[in-house]
Amino acid sequence: MIGLLIVSHSTRLAEGVQEFVGQIGGDQIPIAAAGGASDGSLGTSVERILAGLEQLRAADGILALVDLGSAVMSVETALEHFSGPPVQISNAPLVEGAYLAAVEASNAEATLEQVAVAALQARELMKVYE
């Protein structure tokens, strides 16, 4: 089983994406939210990211979905202090990527690579057809 780590500069945004994609697989997909700075303001927190990674420790792999580039740096820093299942940082858009990742991860036999590829497909989604 592949876990999803939602990393955002906003606590509410991370928790909202977690709630949204959590409805796809119910309790079958482990999803952790790591949003906001340590003091609750906008930003990212290595400590919150590490706590999210720890929540997902039992997964076979973890796909980290981020909102902005600086969140990537925070995840990379957290990974320097984490020894658990493999973690891949996704370049997918946060909401759509998390949704497609959750759909793929709902297949218990999906690999981290398959879930990561599914998330990246969100970059090709058309929302408005003219």
Helix axis angle, 69-79 relative to 46-55, nearest 10°? Answer: 60
The one-letter amino acid code at 34 reads A
- Determine the Cα angle at 54 with ends 31 and 116, to 5°: 45
C-alpha to C-alpha distance for 77 and 1, rounded to whole angstroms = 24
Active site residue 9: yes
- Of the listed 9, 53, 97, 118, which one is catalytic? 9
Active-site residues: which are they?
Answer: 9
